[in-house]
Structures are given as C-alpha cells and as structure tokens.
Amino acid sequence: MTNPTDEARVLDAVPTGLFIGGSWRPAASGATLPVDDPATGKTLVEVADAGPEDGMEALAAAAAAQSSFAAMAPRARGEILHRAYQLLMERIDDLALLMTMEMGKPLAESKGEITYAAEFFRWFSEEAVRIDGGYAVAPAGTSRFMVMKQPVGVCLLITPWNFPMAMGTRKIGPAIAAGCAMVIKPSELTPLSMHALAAILVEAGLPDGVLNVITTSNAGAVMEPLIRDGRARKLSFTGSTPVGKKLLEQASDKVLRTSMELGGNAPLIVFDDADLDKAVEGAMAAKMRNMGEACTAANRFLVHRTVADAFADKLAARMGALVVGRGTEDGVQVGPLVNAKSREKVVTLVQDALDKGASVKVGAEPGDGPGHFYPPTVLTGVPLEARLSHEEIFGPVAAITVFDEEDEAVAAANDTEFGLVSYLFTENLTRALRVSERLEAGMIGLNTGLVSNPAAPFGGIKESGLGREGGSVGIDEFLETKYVGIAFGG
C-alpha cells in the first residue's frame, strides 16, 4: 500500500501548466480544470485549461520547430527516444503511482502499462534509422526512378484516458522517429501521465517546440481550429467512433493525413474443441485488462453450447474471486471505472440485458460508497438483441451467448459495424486458420486474450479505424513518399 507522503511527492513533481515551445505556462485565460481520483472522487490537482488562443500558440511552436527537427540526423532522433525509454523504466514506480491515482487501475497494471509504453520508444528508436527509399530503372530504360520518404510535417495527436501513457508513446514515438513536430491533447480526465512524459522527453534532449502539450475541457473549440488551420499535415486520434467521424469531417477541409483507432465490439469465440482452461485464462486477459476499459476488451462471449456451462462456471469463479478496491492498496486486482458516467453506462447495459432475459452468474450488484466501482460480472443467456451485444461495454462485464455451429458463431461475431479485434479459442489448426480468415477484424487473438505489442501493427477495419500503429508499418503513418524521375542517357 502506498502512503500519502509518496502520493503527495509524486503529484508535486508533475508540471500542471501547458507545455508550449519548450516552456510550461498557464492558460492565457488563467483557467484550470480538476483531475480527480476515481477511487475517492477527490480532486488530486488542478491543471491548466487551454483555450483556442493557447492551441494556436502550440501549433505555431510546432510549425516553427518542424524544419530543423526534420533535418536532425535519424540516429540523433533515435537516441532521444532511447534515452526516454531508459528514463521511463528507471522511474516506473513513481509513474505507475501517478497513473493509478488519476486513472484508477491497480499499481501492477500501471507498471505493466509503463513498460508497454516505454517499449514503443525503444521500438521506434530503432525504426528511426531504418527509414528507406529506393532506386530503380524505368521499364523502358530511358529514365531512373528515385523514391524517398520524408516527414509528413506537423502532427496533431489526440489520446484517450484509458491508457494515458501508452497511447501517447504509441503516437509520439513514430512522430519523433520520422522527424515530425507535434501538438498533443491528452484526455482532461488523465492528463498527468502525459505531463510527466513530456518532462521526461525534455530531459532526454527533445528540442523545444517539437512536442507541445495542451490540456483542455473544451476539446472541440481548441482542436478544430488547429485541424482546419493548414499548418498541420497529420491527425492521429484514439477514441470513440462518433468523435472520430467528426474529426474526419474536419480533417477533410485541408485533406489532412489521418490515422485513427476507434471503438470496438470484440467477440470472443470458444469452440467445443477449445482447451477450456486456456480459454478462461485468455478471457480474463481479454476482458479484465484495465477493468474492461479498453477498445480491445472482449465484449461478446460466443461459446459453443456443449461447453457453455463449464466455461461460465470457470469464468465466474475467476471473476468472482477478484479483489476490488483503490488501485494503490495491496492485493487489489480491479480498480474503479474512470468516472460516474462510465459506471452508470455499465449499470444501464447490464440492466437492459437482464430485462431481456439474461441471468447473473456473478456480480451485477454495484455497492454504495465513494468511488466509481463496479464488480466483475458474468451474465449468461444474453440474447443477441440486448444492447450489450451491440454497444461497447467499457467495464468488467462478460456477456455469454451460446451457439451451435461455426457459421453461426462467425456470423454473430461479424454482425457489428466495428472490426478492431476478435478472439477465438480452438485446438483445431484448420478451424483456427479458417475462422481467422473469415473474421472481420484488423487483429485476431488466436488462443490468447492479448494482442497488443509495439512490434506488431495495431488497428482495425470498418468503423474501428484507419491506418496502423506499431510494428514496421507504424512509422509509415508519419512519412510521405516522394518520387523523383531522373532523365537518363545522352
């Protein structure tokens, strides 16, 4: 268990202003916004609340830094990222405590996220020196083709509250590696991790103006002018599909390059030939990471009728044994949801499923008291018409529906506008490959509940997003390809 002295020390070390042009400053209006502890409802600290004027200053700072940063040697950019990686790992305990206080996840999970976040910096520190091009002879032989890759330019980055450090490094890492200056807007619910990250990048040697951080309670008023300004050439967003659609409309004004990781409605299919212990272990990882507050979280559990009861019993035993509480306390495995609105959504979705005939295997009884807690819950007999089958839960609820045939399971899994990730559990290799090809998702978890890895391309299809983050293709989202035709011959 942490003590109040440690918590105060960690909070005192975090800058609370806007980070523009290499300096921390208050908002032009002097406005601030509170950052609350979701486990207690108490305010941790007040941070600067940016307005449109602050946003334009941040964009101007990034635009001023773009040319010189793009000219920096790739090795030098990579070394900045590697130093930042080392600093993140050295300070993992304090950074994890900070994240737990503002977001709610248990300390063990926060440490896991810091490690995951740092790996994006290490990965892209290595990718910075591997930006390549090409040289070829034209088919007719009368000219030569030269292809080069260059930074796309100033980037606008918008990150969510649920992974406040990793969603930042996943965007900042390739932007720095490619040579792009940027303005980043973290969620107003969890800005402190991003502030700490910005301070670490400064310490690692990032030039002034390359990274600018603006926190705001009015994202639309601050970000839309930047998107429509013309000096920015790239928009990267992680968040809900409705917001992503609005941003795409705004980005069309100046034809900004866009990449987006949006909502999910992940199915988890358990076939009759699955190893049930492996399937339950994978289900726990896919459902309970981050209290279920993840776009990759398993949303719909489709289980073959012959193993449905056994799977539900095993899953309910595991879910019911989880310890709920403030993430700073010893032994806690499940923290609070991020705010009252998130908790109320889960309550509403569960009640809708119960009203439509679902049964409670475990949980579904939120208690009273401070904090936005909801117990790990397993529902069985959830009909496909329940809202849980179509809406992203973003909470610790596993909704089980049975199926009889493979085609039925695949059809149900694909019956959604989303396509971020799908999970399947089977010991039949042919079925595994066949179903993986048929599932409409950008990522497949085959006999695993965890797909995220900095070295792999992360992203979805349909209304779950555009482009990919991570892997060897992640840096391409921040590069433009230029072709030079060269006359050749006498």
Question: Do 327 and 105 contact (CB within 8 A), yes or no?
Answer: yes
Burial class (CB in 10 A: 0-12, 13-18, 19+), 130: exposed
For residues 400 and 389, give the distance between their C-alpha atoms in angstroms, rounded to a whole number.
10
Distance (Å, whole) CA 189 – CA 12:
18
- Residue 347 token pair: 């309550």
CA atoms lying within 13 Å on the CB side of residue 133: 15
Closest by Cα among 443, 197, 190, 414 to 302: 414
Active site residues: 261
- Sign, CA dihedral 348-352-354-358, equals negative
The answer to whether residues 78 and 126 touch, using CB atoms and an 8 Å cutoff, is: yes
